[in-house]
Amino acid sequence: MNATKNKIGRADALRLAKNAAKVIVAKGRSVVTFDMSKDAPKDADLLAALLGPTGNLRAPTIRVGRTLLVGFNEDVYKRVLA
């Protein structure tokens, strides 16, 4: 999907995250992992991590199996995509 043409807003971002078993959000060197099956966060906390300043899902976003990767961190990508 081309994110410049198809924006993913709050409701769709939340739906993507809730359908994943694990959500890993990278912002620079900071990485936060949400275990959605054991200890799901409040919607507001999850949206704060998922959405960028425009109110849309941050890029890049990749789903690998039941894991949703949001943002970019080279170490996380190597670990999850290996």
Total number of domains in the chain = 1
What pLDDT sits at residue 60? Answer: 92
Q: Report if residue 15 sits inside a domain.
A: yes
Q: Report if residue 2 sits inside a domain.
A: no
pLDDT tens digit sequence for 12-69: 999 999 999 999 999 988 999 999 999 889 999 999 999 999 999 998 999 999 999 9
Residues 6 or more apart whose Cβ sits within 8 Å of residue 54: 7
Domain region containing 16? 10-81
Q: Report if residue 3 sits inside a domain.
A: no
Quote the pTM value.
0.90
Q: Report if residue 36 sits inside a domain.
A: yes
Confidence of residue 82 (pLDDT cuts 50, 70, 90): confident
What pLDDT sits at residue 28? Answer: 82
Question: Cβ(22)–Cβ(39) under 8 Å?
Answer: no
Q: Report if residue 5 sits inside a domain.
A: no
Backbone angles phi, psi at 29, to 5 degrees: -85, -10
pLDDT value at 3 more than 80: no
Q: Report if residue 45 sits inside a domain.
A: yes
